[in-house]
């Protein structure tokens, strides 16, 4: 059982939470806490041995002893499930499917949905259902309605945008708050939107990177989960940057998924607190 808490800071919170666990006869395997002193905000991640059957009672007791307006999220043992949205680029999807096949993803891939047929054969090699939804012959609203219908046939915890090159509407995003994870081929907040590598090349940057973030209704400005950069110089063409960038994108998305699927990320407003170990 994993418990994530955020609340106004006050003296003795660690002791209070520890007492609740002790009274319930639960053993704490790991406890990580962080206080944002600028806003007096307390964050805590607890890993508990077993205890899944006591989750509801523990949550109720924590509500009684923690400050008002506390956010308490408890994750129990069942393996998480994900749906993956794609367009044409295969590198991030390929990595996800391989990890899923060898049981190292930390979740099971329930389906892949693409707005092109390009990645059907790759997906089906791993015996994962693939759904093609054409975006060119219908309005955005109709496209998203069909997409929602396809998604609603499955049970999942998160949607992964593995190079899904469509901007989702605020209504669609609102249906899955902090449950849509995107990999952006840029070190945000620099070079948002389309063609970031060309933008970076024209600007003459010496570093390029990738950013994995939760999707909000503001383009490429959702809470950041993980980022990584690599050096480039004047000799690198746009094509070179794209090739290098794909390697970084794959690595950053894999890291972000590991953190999220292990319940190591707490979202607070447009920021995240990430307990990496």
* DSSP-derived 3-state class of residue 143: helix
- Report which of 168, 181, 190 is spatially closest to residue 224, judged by C-alpha positions: 181
Q: Is the dihedral of CA 80, 69, 265, 152 positive or negative?
A: positive
Residue 220 annotated to the active site: yes
* DSSP-derived 3-state class of residue 256: helix
In whole angstroms, give the CA distance from residue 277 to residue 1: 16
Peptide bond into 189 cis (omega under 30): yes
The two counts, helices (H) then strands (E), for the chain are: 8, 13
Q: Which residues of 52-62 are buried (b: 16+ CB within 10 A; e: fewer)?
A: eebbeebeebb
In whole angstroms, give the CA distance from residue 160 to residue 158: 6
In whole angstroms, give the CA distance from residue 217 to residue 232: 32
In whole angstroms, give the CA distance from residue 100 to residue 105: 5
User: Which entry of 220, 240, 263, 268 is annotated as an active-site residue?
Assistant: 220
In whole angstroms, give the CA distance from residue 266 to residue 258: 14
Token match 């109709």: residue? 142
Structure tokens at 158: 């998160």
In whole angstroms, give the CA distance from residue 256 to residue 274: 10
Active site members: 220
């Amino acid at each position: 059982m994993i418990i994530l808490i955020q609340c106004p800071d006050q003296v003795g919170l660690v002791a209070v939470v520890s007492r609740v666990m002790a009274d319930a006869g639960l053993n704490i395997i790991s406890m990580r806490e962080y206080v944002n002193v600028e806003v007096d905000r307390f964050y805590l991640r607890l890993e508990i041995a077993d205890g899944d059957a006591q989750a509801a009672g523990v949550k109720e007791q924590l509500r009684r002893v923690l400050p008002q307006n506390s956010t308490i999220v408890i994750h129990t043992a069942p393996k998480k499930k994900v749906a993956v949205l794609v367009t044409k680029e295969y590198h991030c999807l390929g990595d996800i499917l391989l990890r899923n096949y060898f049981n190292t993803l930390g979740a099971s891939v329930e389906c892949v949905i693409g707005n092109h047929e390009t990645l059907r054969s790759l997906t089906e090699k791993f015996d994962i259902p693939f759904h093609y939804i054409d975006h060119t012959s219908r309005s955005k609203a109709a496209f998203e309605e069909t997409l929602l219908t396809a998604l609603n046939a499955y049970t999942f915890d998160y949607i992964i945008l593995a190079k899904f090159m469509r901007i989702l509407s605020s209504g669609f995003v609102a249906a899955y708050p902090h449950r849509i994870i995107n990999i952006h081929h840029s070190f945000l907040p620099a070079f948002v939107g389309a063609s970031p590598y060309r933008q970076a090349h024209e600007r003459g940057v010496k570093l390029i990177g990738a950013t994995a973030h939760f999707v909000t209704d503001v383009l490429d400005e959702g809470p950041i989960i993980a980022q990584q950069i690599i050096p480039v110089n004047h000799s690198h063409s746009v094509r070179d940057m794209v090739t290098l960038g794909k390697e970084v994108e794959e690595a950053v998305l894999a890291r972000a998924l590991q953190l999220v699927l292990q319940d190591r990320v707490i979202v607070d407003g447009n920021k995240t607190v990430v307990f990496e170990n």
